[in-house]
Every structure is written in C-alpha cells, then in structure tokens.
Amino acid sequence: MLVCFLLFSFNYNFKATGLEENDVPVGVFFYVWYGYNQTSLTWTGGNGTSHWNDGGAGIVIDYPIFGYYSSNNNDTLKEQISLMRDAGIDFIVISWWGIKDYTNNASRNVFKFLVGNGMDFKACFIIEPYENINYTQVYDYIFDNFVEPYNPWYMRFEGKPLIFFFNPVYSGFYKDGRFNAFVVGNPPNDVDIIFWKGMDCLDEYGGFEHIEYYTGDPVISDEGIVSILPRYDDKALYDAGSRQTFMRFDRLLTKNLYGKEWNYVIKNKDKVKMVLIYSWNEYHERSAIEPHYDYTTGKSQHYLLNPTKYCIKQFKEYRTPQYMHDLGLRESIILVSVGVLVAVAWLLKKIIKK
C-alpha cells in the first residue's frame, strides 16, 4: 500500500504540474567536399572526384543511395535536407576549409538553396584547421558573407551566430565576441566540446597511447552541448597509408552504440541545450547516417536514419516533471519524506481502527 501511495503521489505531481516546452535544437555535421573534379575544376560528381576515393580505391567503402554525388548539386541537396527535416534535425554544421577551398563555394550554395526554397532550416560552420589559417579573416568573412546576408538561415545559440572550430592547431586562435564560438575535439587538446566518445563499444584500435580519450559516456559541455555518433571506423584510411592510427567503434553495428548514446542524452535532457550528431555524411570515418549501402553489414538505405528519427522524437517529446526542476535536492527529499510520513500515518490509523 505504501508503494502504491508513493507511485500515485509521483504520478499526481507529474500530471498536475504539466509538461515543459522543448526547444533544444538538434544539428548534424555536414560535409560538402564531395564531387569536385580537380581536372575540369567543375562539380561533376562521380567516383574519383573529390573525397570519392580520389585518394585511392577502397577508402570510401559504403555507397550512398544518391550515388557518388556532387555536394554542389541542388537536386541532391534538396533530398538531403528533406530527409534531415523529416528526421527532426534542425540545422547542419558545415565543414569549411577556407575562402579559397571548394567547400566555400558549396557552402554558399547551401545558403542560397535555403533562401531560394524558403526552408525553415538553418546552417552554421565548423572551421577546419587548414594550413595558414587567419582567424580574424575567417571571422570577418563568415560574418560578412554568411551571417549578415543570410541572417534568418544562419544558426544561432543563445542569441549569437554559432561557429565551431575543430582542434585549432595554428597560433592566433581567439574567440570573436560577435559569435558564440566553441572549440570541438578530443583531449589532450584544450576543447570546449568533446567531439565524440564511443562508450563501451570499442572493437579494435592501433597506434593510440590514450584510447581512453575516446571511450566512455558522451560529455555534456558546460554550455549544455553534447555530441554523439552511431559508429566510427577509419581503418580504411589507415590501410591506405593516410593515417598512422585507427579506431573502430561498433563496426558491425551490433553493440547498439547509437542507441546507448541517445539513451544517455535523453536521460540527461535537463542538462542539454543542444545535440550534435557526427555525422550526416562523413564516409571516410563511417559515421554517416545519410541513407547508404553498408559494406560490412549488408544493411541498406535508412537503417541509421530511421533510428535517428525515432530517437529525436523521443528526445523532443520527453519531459521531466516540472517540480523536479523547480525544487532543489533538499526540497525534493523533504517532499518525499512528507509523503512517506503521510502514508505511515494513514496505515497506523487503519491498524488502530481494527
């Protein structure tokens, strides 16, 4: 009877106080480096063009359902963003490699596409650590060429344009006050946001002295930003000689890494202000949730996108009892204690009457 009373009391408080509104945005890292033809200097797409095995056959072993597409193709972009929106993703974080790089041209096309189609969807950037980067020039260029002209479509966080930097390795890095700027990466680098952690789903690795930097639960930053991933596997890059180390987390998608990470985020929703997913289409590290044919599992199409949609829905609909936010730990303990005392008194009264 006591347990039933306490459960009833909890349910009563949950229903009586109502549910919180949710405005926590979900973003995904988006790579626009695919399909540039270095010979013709045009966006032709196709195997052998930029980042589609142009560094050697067998590096990209999973095959996107759009084929070896061009990141500058609006038909492909339309399908990609439509799938993201349907899954509940709110914005993309575009990987950007500098003013003179072809990712700049593709990035500008993304914003033009959003404007031209009137889409309720946003974008921002993660600045990669390209050689000879000038951070003042980067801030000014992004602000003048993307934030101001595409203001309604540029993603903001706590009132300021959002910008990320991946492991800045060159001198001169600073945070410009016009932006909410965050450094993304993994220790031992000094970062604001841990790029990802593979929980307990490590399959194998080679060459790492501190693999523990990549294991364990996702880390929610002081600002409430958390980044998660469905899988990681860069062994093909290692085998091709492009990397001296490699890691594999949930290579065969049998350890439920993605589900575990989403469960962690949902359980800690009261601490989260933004969720980032790595990635939409980073095929070299096999973290893509974009529909594709999977080389190692034989799975095809939407096998990672459908769970993404389901988990985002669960995350956005999940509500914590309001009174647990309004009350501190001490007050919550007192509330439960009072409930116990009332229940005991009720039981004693029933016993005495008998």
Q: What's 231's domain CATH number? A: 3.20.20.80
Q: What whole-number distance in Å separates Cα of residue 18 and Cα of residue 241?
A: 57
Q: What whole-number distance in Å separates Cα of residue 328 and Cα of residue 348?
A: 30
Strand-pairing partners, residue 124, are 93
Asked whether residue 131 is assigned to any structural domain, the reply reads yes
Asked whether residue 80 is assigned to any structural domain, the reply reads yes
Class of residue 201 by CB neighbours under 10 A (exposed 0-12, middle 13-18, buried 19+): buried
Distances in Å between the Cα of 82 and the Cα atoms of 68, 279, 297 are 19, 16, 26
Which pTM was predicted? Answer: 0.85
Helix (H, G, I), strand (E, B) or coil at 173: coil
Strand-pairing partners, residue 274, are 225
- Residue type for position 309: K
Phi and psi at residue 229, to the nearest 5°: -150, 160
For 331, residues 6+ apart whose C-beta sits below 8 A from its C-beta are: none
- Predicted local distance difference test score (pLDDT) of residue 23: 85
Distances in Å between the Cα of 293 and the Cα atoms of 65, 89, 287, 306 are 7, 22, 13, 14
Distances in Å between the Cα of 209 and the Cα atoms of 24, 213, 241 are 36, 10, 19
Q: What whole-number distance in Å separates Cα of residue 9 and Cα of residue 338?
A: 11
- Predicted local distance difference test score (pLDDT) of residue 344: 54
- Predicted local distance difference test score (pLDDT) of residue 247: 97
Q: How many domains does the chain have?
A: 1
Q: What whole-number distance in Å separates Cα of residue 282 and Cα of residue 109?
A: 19
Q: What whole-number distance in Å separates Cα of residue 49 and Cα of residue 260?
A: 36
Which among 155, 157, 137, 135 has a CA at the least distance from the CA of 146? 155
Angle between helices 305-317 and 74-87 (to 10 degrees): 40
For the chain, helix (H) and strand (E) counts, in that order, are 9, 14
Asked whether residue 18 is assigned to any structural domain, the reply reads no
Asked whether residue 354 is assigned to any structural domain, the reply reads no
- Predicted local distance difference test score (pLDDT) of residue 25: 98
Domain interval for residue 269: 25-328
Asked whether residue 235 is assigned to any structural domain, the reply reads yes
- Predicted local distance difference test score (pLDDT) of residue 354: 52
Asked whether residue 9 is assigned to any structural domain, the reply reads no
Which residue numbers in the chain have pLDDT < 50?
1-21, 322-336, 338
- Predicted local distance difference test score (pLDDT) of residue 254: 97
The pairing of strands 232-233 and 246-249 is antiparallel
* Tokens describing residue 95: 């990987």
Asked whether residue 35 is assigned to any structural domain, the reply reads yes
Q: What whole-number distance in Å separates Cα of residue 88 and Cα of residue 22?
A: 13
Q: What whole-number distance in Å separates Cα of residue 184 and Cα of residue 344?
A: 53
Asked whether residue 349 is assigned to any structural domain, the reply reads no
